[in-house]
Structure 1
Amino acid sequence: MIDTKEIKKIKLTPFTRMSATIYAILGLVSALIMLVIIIAVQASGITAQMAPQLANFNWITGVGIPLIVILPVVSFIVTVAVSFISATLYNLLVPRLGGIKLELEGEDLQKIPVVAFSLITSAIGAIWAFIIGLLMAAFLSPFFSLISSLPIPAEITAELSNSTGTAINGSLVGSVGILVTLLLVIGLPIMAFVFGFIWNALLALIYNYLVIRVAKIKLNFSQLTGTLYELTHIPVMPTALAVAILYALLGLISGILNQNYGEFITNFIWYFIATAIAAKAYNYLAPKIGSVKLNLE
């Protein structure tokens, strides 16, 4: 029997702690893979042939080994901020937009209702785009102000005016700055919402009608009290396979659009490995640092 659950609230601390720890592990695995590649490349002598001036530079100790520390630490810190803010935004938006709904049969995720999933995820993406656009506008604003205040040599002004048919002066530069600010603060969030909605709807549709014919994401929830549930276990292989097929199909669509057909294969390999590691890490960490807890109704 299908049991539809709506994620009403995400408990911030368990979600943030688990997400950051898993991404730190993925960062460590990525660093180790990069170290192996660097060792192989340096041993082959390719770097010395391509850049003789770097022949005496030890890429293993200079780059590879530091990455083993840097990538996990940076991944952990960044994910703490992103996860906490994203979960907070989700909790604030649910009463207004509705939460993500999951149609479950036992531990099998049978369907992701498209509109509910796409609406709130694209709204969160739009808010992040607004934050990023605001920071970029604040960063660029002093430069536009400085340029608009500088005197422009007459010969340059005349040449640009003749080529564009528009008088070039400080006020025009200021207007361009205002336009760029509006595009970053208003245009970027709108684009993020529209394209995010389309992309997430496509993701849900592909899962609902194609992926589940081969594999299904599996989530083992346990009721703690009332509407509070914890995600106790994630079956590794079926979930990794389902996610890999999902993103492989998305990669196929993207590859057709940009003529990069190899994205289908690379997406499958990358998402299978990353999801398997993440699920395995979650199952190991849940009893030790606490599982993700959600209010489901």
Structure 2
Amino acid sequence: MVDVKEIKSVKIVPFTLMTSAVSAILALIYAIILLLLSGIIAAFLPAEIGGLVAGLGVALIILLPLGSFLLNVLWAFLTAWFYNLLVPKVGGIKLGMEGKEIKNLPVVSLALITSVINTIWAFIIGLLLTAAFAPFLGLLSSLPQIINAFAPALANNTTAIQGMQGALGASGAIMAVILIIAVPILVFILSFIGYALTAVFYNVLIPRVGGIQLELAAVQEKFSEITNIPAVPLALALAVVMAIWGLIQGLLNLVTYASVGDPVGGVVSLISNIVGSFIGAFIVYAITAFIYNFLAPKLGGIQLELE
């Protein structure tokens, strides 16, 4: 029998530490792959350029894991904080559990809070981008004064100068509205649709392939710690879902290719999207689970308040 549990809150520090550590190790693996590729590429280049490429690959071994860890500390901490603040207002993610297996994901609960969190991030990034572009826009708005100082003949055209000032001011306002209002609204809509469809795909497919499994252990207060995530069930369940997204992308590509008279290319794209999405997702999620299970006894697993 399926028992629906709601994630009422997430302990911020364990979530931040674990997700950041996993991200750093994944980034290290990616950096090693890039290092190997850069070494191969460097072998076919002139010595000076090849040395530069190889040196860049070595630098990435340090920069990618470190940068990934630091960025994820900020992202994970704030995301968990946003989640805990939003649960009383919009409800938390619900999990249809049967034993340790997630048999289904209630669609609205997953889509609503995740899309709201994504919208908050889009709003924050929009504010930061607006602030970053503000000096540049200020420089542009002073362009008429620069013209007046260095090109008096052009400055005599008062109508043109006023038009330029108005256009620059309007462009700044439009950009701010787009970044701070329009983009977050679009992010909410697309995120809601995307997560809702993901939950639907999961719920339809999981009875056939098996769901994600979480091994939970009760800890202090009302929290349960995820002590282990079996790698194959996680990777298989999410890879199948990603294959459906690959199918959708492949069908769109098929229509595009067919419209330009290349249906064979469309079929190849369709197959490669499905297979590539499945294999890529399976590998990434399996590695992620292995890393999590390796780190959990050392750092402590993610802790959830389930009710």
Report the TM-score when normalising by structure 2.
0.86
Distance 1:278 1:157, change over 3 A: farther
1:78-227 aligned at under 5 Å gives the runs 78-151=71-144, 168-225=163-220, 227=222
Aligned partner of residue 229 in structure 1, secondary structure: strand
Contact kept in structure 1, 2:126 and 2:179, CA below 8 Å: yes
Distance 1:145 1:105, change over 3 A: same
Deviation at 1:280? Answer: 0.8
Contact kept in structure 1, 2:18 and 2:301, CA below 8 Å: yes
d(CA) in 2 for partners of 1:78, 1:224: 28
Q: Which residue of 2 aligns with 1:9?
A: 9
Q: What letter is aligned with 1:170?
A: Q
d(CA) in 2 for partners of 1:156, 1:28: 56
2:301 aligned residue (268, 286, 291): 291
d(CA) in 2 for partners of 1:264, 1:188: 29
d(CA) in 2 for partners of 1:200, 1:56: 45
* Deviation per residue, 1:87-129 (Å, 9 max, x gap): 0000000000000000011111110000010000000000000
Deviation at 1:172? Answer: 2.1
* Deviation per residue, 1:200-242 (Å, 9 max, x gap): 1011111111244123211111222553111111011111111
Q: What letter is aligned with 2:17?
A: R
Contact kept in structure 1, 2:22 and 2:288, CA below 8 Å: yes
Q: Structure 1 residues 188-197 or 269-278, which shifts more? A: 269-278
Q: Which residue of 1 aligns with 2:287?
A: 277
Gapped regions of structure 1 (runs ≥ 5): 162-166
Aligned partner of residue 50 in structure 2, secondary structure: coil
Aligned partner of residue 23 in structure 2, secondary structure: helix
Distance 1:156 1:278, change over 3 A: farther
Q: How many residue pairs are counted as aligned between the two chains?
A: 284
Q: Which residue of 2 aligns with 1:266?
A: 276
d(CA) in 2 for partners of 1:117, 1:37: 39
Q: Which residue of 2 aligns with 1:39?
A: 39
Contact kept in structure 1, 2:38 and 2:54, CA below 8 Å: no
d(CA) in 2 for partners of 1:224, 1:135: 39
Deviation at 1:20? Answer: 0.6
Q: Which residue of 2 aligns with 1:58?
A: 51
Q: Structure 1 residues 256-265 or 128-137, which shifts more? A: 256-265
2:241 aligned residue (226, 246, 265): 246
Q: Structure 1 residues 75-84 or 252-261, which shifts more? A: 252-261
Instruction: Identify, as 1 or 2, the structure richer in helix.
Output: 2
d(CA) in 2 for partners of 1:110, 1:71: 36
d(CA) in 2 for partners of 1:141, 1:257: 38
Distance 1:185 1:60, change over 3 A: closer
d(CA) in 2 for partners of 1:233, 1:78: 25
Q: What letter is aligned with 1:21?
A: A
Contact kept in structure 2, 1:216 and 1:239, CA below 8 Å: yes
Contact kept in structure 2, 1:221 and 1:233, CA below 8 Å: yes
Contact kept in structure 1, 2:212 and 2:233, CA below 8 Å: yes
d(CA) in 2 for partners of 1:170, 1:19: 48
Q: Which residue of 2 aligns with 1:230?
A: 225
Q: What letter is aligned with 1:112?
A: L
* Deviation per residue, 1:29-82 (Å, 9 max, x gap): 111111222223333x2xx2xxx6x75532564122221111111111111110
4+ residue stretches of structure 1 with deviation over 6 A? 153-158
Contact kept in structure 2, 1:220 and 1:232, CA below 8 Å: yes
Gapped regions of structure 2 (runs ≥ 5): 257-268
